[in-house]
Amino acid sequence: MAIPVETFHLSAKAKGTLQARIQQMVAEGILSGRFQRGEKLPSTRKLAKHLGVSRITVTLAYTELLANDYLSARGRSGYFVSDNAPEPPDFGPLAPREDRVDWDQALARRYTGGTRLRKPDDWAGYRYPFIYGQTDPQLFDHANWRLCAMQALGIKNFTALTMDQFANDDPELVTFIARHTLPRRGIMAGPDEILVTMGAQNALWIAAQLLCADGRKVAVEEPCYPELRGLLNNVGAEVQSLPVDQFGLRPDSVPDGTQVLFTTPSHQCPTSATLPRSRRDTLLERAADMGALIVEDDYEFEMSFLRPPSPALKSLDEDGRVIYVGSFSKSLFPGLRLGYLVGSADFIREARALRASVLRHPPGHIQRTAAYFLSLGHYDALIRRMSRALNERRTVMETAIQEHGLQIAGSGAHGGSSFWMKAPDDVDTEQLAKELSWQSVLIEPGAPFFASANPPRNFYRLGFSSIPSERIAEGIKRIGTALAKHGAGR
């Protein structure tokens, strides 16, 4: 590849003759890894014109670089980075500049440091990945997704979708969500009650910004998705954690004065408990009495394969007090970053304005590709295929878990893609996870889900959306063996 002449700039601060500065510029490009062995340099004429210097100066600089074996000349075809040129150790800034900014002072707000769920970047290389929330590429309908993407990339769509949509969503996607996705949850909503978001994370973030800022009293479940607690803390909410039992949230535990409640009624995160109908009614009544809002995170409803999903809390809401969060991350794939918010038009209008200020809109092509995939029926077929696979895996999981004497602390009544597990009290699952990872087994320690400074350390989550059936038994066996060793050490 030829190095474009535009990438050459003489540093104003560099010292020495013009020729020396040109040499230095080229050498630095090579040493920093920007110019690589075999790449062609601009001709002396071109570079001289670009830099506004005489051609002879550039020629002299090149000649010097030839002598030092930074460059090589290939007759009439010009100058190239020499195959013997010094190789940079790794790409990075050449000379770390001296940073004179006191970032502790300069940063008005900080966002690092919260609890995050972490998995190794190379988790897919592990043989027994009981991780959560990643799709199984074997199950995804890649061929049809690709066809839908091509259709969205066709010239007619393309022109429309390259435009800046300002605050608008793709009408085809919104219509599909309104007509097909939401009715499955018993929810009727018009286009002005729906906002497409960058995944459920973005939907939760928007809701938190709008409803929970500046010391609002907010309740979340305990245990709970740690990044939700993190973003509520960031926005300055006063957060209270409400312990859940095997049926999820207890409506009577919601403290007086709560202004916003975040809940996961379909599959409590992470325990998988399903909130029974009676509790849903009571919860809505209690919220109405207090004038509280409820944010319902329905992050995994499509994965209901044991029996039809119960209708969403939102479908029982006649007051407009439930804000519904949906996501395509579990059913399509998380890297897609597509989710949605459903709520009263007054709320969605503000949410749209906030989204426009933060990022304008999710990319048009991604929205349109999803709209095609959904409306051509590929999505329904995919859900059926995934449900069958997850159902089978769940059975294999249950058998293996029983065989190896592991203890289930929570599992979904309708399906889901994980078990919430309990190890003996004195086991620290953080440590257990580390030991198991050496045997190619990945589990998720449970402590990060708890708000408490001193959380129970013996819970863990076993996801089964990314592990093939035939590896489950061996993986569970290894967990059993590791736990038995812990027991023996007692």
Beta strands 194-197 and 339-342 are antiparallel
- Is there binding between residue 158 and its own copies (CB under 8 A)? yes
CB of 431 to its own copies, least distance (A): 23
Does residue 76 sit in helix, strand or coil? helix
Pairwise CA distance, residues 416 & 267, whole Å? 7
Scan residues 166-185 and list those touching its own copies (CB under 8 A): 166, 168, 175, 178-180, 183-184
The interface region with its own copies, picked from 244-252, 310-318, 423-431, 451-459 by CB under 8 A, is 310-318
CB of 354 to its own copies, least distance (A): 4
CA atoms within 13 A on the CB side of 442: 21
Q: How many CB atoms lie within 10 A of CB 160?
A: 13
Quick one: which of 67, 155, 453, 488 contacts its own copies (CB under 8 A)?
155
What are residue 429's phi and psi, to 5 degrees? -70, -20
Scan residues 290-309 and list those touching its own copies (CB under 8 A): 291, 293, 308
Query: With respect to its own copies, which residue has the nearer C-beta, 190 or 243?
Result: 190
The answer to whether 375 touches 172, Cβ cutoff 8 Å, is yes
CB of 266 to its own copies, least distance (A): 14
CB of 484 to its own copies, least distance (A): 33
The interface region with its own copies, picked from 213-221, 245-253, 424-432, 446-454 by CB under 8 A, is 213-221
CB of 63 to its own copies, least distance (A): 24
Scan residues 230-259 and list those touching its own copies (CB under 8 A): 230-231, 234, 259
CB of 222 to its own copies, least distance (A): 20
- Is there binding between residue 14 and its own copies (CB under 8 A)? no
The answer to whether 306 touches 279, Cβ cutoff 8 Å, is no
Scan residues 322-361 and list those touching its own copies (CB under 8 A): 329, 333-337, 344, 346-347, 349-350, 353-354, 356-361
Which pair of structure tokens corresponds to residue 94? 């050449």
Pairwise CA distance, residues 449 & 480, whole Å? 23
| DSSP characters over 413-449 | SSB-SEEEEE--TT--HHHHHHHHHTTTEE-EESGGG
CB of 8 to its own copies, least distance (A): 8
Scan residues 412-471 and list those touching its own copies (CB under 8 A): none
Distances in Å between the Cα of 358 and the Cα atoms of 33, 106, 202, 351 are 34, 21, 11, 11
One symbol per residue from 119 to 148: x for binding its own copies (CB under 8 A), - otherwise; what is it? --x--x--------xxx-x--x-x--xx--
Amino acid 136 reads D
Scan residues 373-392 and list those touching its own copies (CB under 8 A): 377, 380
Quick one: which of 316, 428, 439, 455 contacts its own copies (CB under 8 A)?
316
Quick one: which of 83, 256, 289, 318 contacts its own copies (CB under 8 A)?
318
Scan residues 81-120 and list those touching its own copies (CB under 8 A): 91-94, 97-103, 106-114, 116
Distances in Å between the Cα of 158 and the Cα atoms of 99, 153, 161 are 44, 5, 5
- The total number of residues written for the chain in this structure: 490
Q: How many CB atoms lie within 10 A of CB 149?
A: 16
Query: What sign for the dihedral angle of Cα 158, 162, 166, 169?
Result: positive
Does residue 359 sit in helix, strand or coil? coil
- Is there binding between residue 50 and its own copies (CB under 8 A)? yes
Quick one: which of 79, 80, 128, 205 contacts its own copies (CB under 8 A)?
205
- Per-residue DSSP letter, 244: -
Query: With respect to its own copies, which residue has the nearer C-beta, 77 or 357?
Result: 357
CB of 289 to its own copies, least distance (A): 12
The interface region with its own copies, picked from 5-13, 76-84, 247-255, 398-406 by CB under 8 A, is 5-13
Which pair of structure tokens corresponds to residue 130? 């009981």
Pairwise CA distance, residues 90 & 106, whole Å? 30
- Within 8 A by CB and 6+ apart from 93, the residues are 32
Query: With respect to its own copies, which residue has the nearer C-beta, 93 or 489?
Result: 93
